[in-house]
Structure 1
């Protein structure tokens, strides 16, 4: 069976184990059903997720021109502390930036390979944790805008990492930690502007991923360099497909790639 379309990040649903879906324009595929099956991925061409043109992808699924022009790729996306909509100041499109920035945001701890601090919109919980391959996570603060979340993250990352070791995450080299205790350690380092939003009563969320076998050594699949791959799917974690030969494929890292996906 063959599916064809432009890759976007996998959609997820949290049940006893995370359910993963590849969603194309006219079809979708539940990847959990393909565990232990042989599949192939064939790169056909690029397609910018914004303009739709066949132009080489630069970052985040966008071509170079779109990445440098559209509000969905503004610098405040990756650096929330640069958000300015709460001051009525425009970066690229103030109306868009107000919708995105002036809504509840969560600063959280997630444990994928090590404990890290991160920021996401409240509506993205627990999707954000799933995308990062976190087997456990907990909220620290819930603030009313992205700027407050950003300055809180900046303050806390002096005391805890803000990066995930994706290799450890994919080889399951992880440790379970008491995230309530880890959160308490950071309480005094929250900026004064965000202290009133500290969450003290919730428990950590645990997440189980559909993985039959974790690789011992990892080989990354880059469709830009190797446009065809065939292998047996052994697991899905974060935004990665894990194959029997140790190959891992970052679906989100290939947004904007049009592929032919075959179930063999």
Structure 2
């Protein structure tokens, strides 16, 4: 099978803790199933062109996983408050796109605990949590609070990041080098650090979500591969986790290469 198209990263479907996540390579509007290709050789070749994943403009360089520079500087989804939600400026009238803010930010958000490399704190839109957790490579996760807006969730996350990391060690995550943790016990400890004004938003879930990934084997050494350094990425497909393809030759971060025109063979 060979397909050419604009790479947009990986998409996935969660079926429950007893089944591995189904992964698909997103090329143009097509989603190529990857689980059936585990153990097979695949090739991804850069065809020498990049286009913005938003406006389609041809660009020599992409920003923030697939955008041209004008879209990077103008679109609300690329504003700094997306990665620093506690600095949301919707209320002071300087949001880049109020309709975007109303749709994606001024709605309920979860603050959660996730176990990927270690227990981390994060936030996500309500009903988007499974996508978020899989994209981060979490093997276990639980929401601990529900806030009415992204800004409020960001303020709580920022406060809790004093006690827990808010980043994932991607090398440990891909190696499966994760210490087993009881998230309910960690949550109870974290609740001791909640500022009083956030106590009414606590959740009391009885169990966490477990996530299994389609991985035949892990790598002892993580070698990151990039189409900016070599025209072709190839190797036996050993698995997929977060936004990474795990190959016998190294790992390939697909979202980082969003906007690249590639030929996929598998």
Give TM-score scaled by structure 1 length. 0.95
Cα shift readout 1:111-130 (whole Å, capped 9, x = no counterpart): 11111101111121111110
User: Residues 111 and 121 of structure 2 are in contact (CA less than 8 Å); yes or no, is this contact kept in structure 1?
Assistant: yes
Find the counterpart in structure 2 of residue 179 from structure 1: 183
Give the match's secondary structure for 1:154.
helix
Distance change >3 Å, CA 188–CA 89, structure 1 → 2: farther
User: Residues 40 and 237 of structure 2 are in contact (CA less than 8 Å); yes or no, is this contact kept in structure 1?
Assistant: yes
Within a 5 Å distance, the mapping from 1:118-137 to structure 2 comes to: 118-137=122-141
User: Residues 71 and 92 of structure 1 are in contact (CA less than 8 Å); yes or no, is this contact kept in structure 2?
Assistant: yes
Would you say 1:65 and 2:70 are equivalent positions? yes
Would you say 1:255 and 2:258 are equivalent positions? yes
Give the match's secondary structure for 1:126.
helix
Query: Displacement, 1:95?
Result: 1.9
Query: Displacement, 1:88?
Result: 5.7
**Between Structure 1 and Structure 2, how many residues are aligned?**
261
Query: Displacement, 1:26?
Result: 4.3
CA distance in 2, matches of 1:202, 1:46: 46
Give the match's secondary structure for 1:182.
helix
Query: Where in structure 1 are there 5+ consecutive unaligned residues?
Result: none
User: Residues 46 and 261 of structure 2 are in contact (CA less than 8 Å); yes or no, is this contact kept in structure 1?
Assistant: yes
Find the counterpart in structure 2 of residue 212 from structure 1: 216
User: Residues 43 and 227 of structure 1 are in contact (CA less than 8 Å); yes or no, is this contact kept in structure 2?
Assistant: yes
Would you say 1:8 and 2:8 are equivalent positions? yes
CA distance in 1, matches of 2:9, 2:194: 32
**Pairwise CA RMSD:** 1.3
Moved more, 43-52 or 212-221: 43-52
User: Residues 233 and 242 of structure 1 are in contact (CA less than 8 Å); yes or no, is this contact kept in structure 2?
Assistant: yes
User: Residues 241 and 250 of structure 1 are in contact (CA less than 8 Å); yes or no, is this contact kept in structure 2?
Assistant: yes
Query: Displacement, 1:23?
Result: 2.4
From 41, 66, 83, the counterpart of 2:88: 83
Distance change >3 Å, CA 202–CA 253, structure 1 → 2: farther
Give TM-score scaled by structure 2 length. 0.94
From 21, 28, 33, the counterpart of 1:30: 33
